[in-house]
Amino acid sequence: MADVLRITAMGMGLVFAAMALVLVAMVLLTRLRDAEPEPKVEESATEAPAVDERALKLRVAMIAAAIARAKSQSAPAPGALYIPPTPAASGSWWAHHQARQLYPSLRKRA
């Protein structure tokens, strides 16, 4: 019985050692991937041109308006009912069923 426990303890030790090794490898690889290169400082006499903030805001507003206009033109009307296309193999039963679901007034009342 002692041999079985010893073998089990050694096996579990190897499993946890392998898990720790994988964890350390993941941490090292993550640090290598996320490491940023040292910033290179270039000394130059010229400064970056000043950005006109008002012109930049105007340009962003124009782009946003164009996107909104494109979305509103491609969107269906607010009250429009979306009817998904039915498969060709569904037959007349599906058309009847769907019509009854969409238009309850078509149901025959006894």
**Which of 63-67, 86-90, 104-108 has the lowest average pLDDT?**
86-90
The candidate with the shortest Cα–Cα distance to 12, out of 22, 20, 1, 2, is 20
Instruction: Tell me the pTM.
Output: 0.32
- For residue 101, the surrounding DSSP H or E stretch is helix 91-102
Top-confidence residue, 90 or 13: 13
pLDDT tens figures, 17-73 = 999 999 999 999 998 888 776 667 666 556 656 678 888 999 999 999 999 888 877
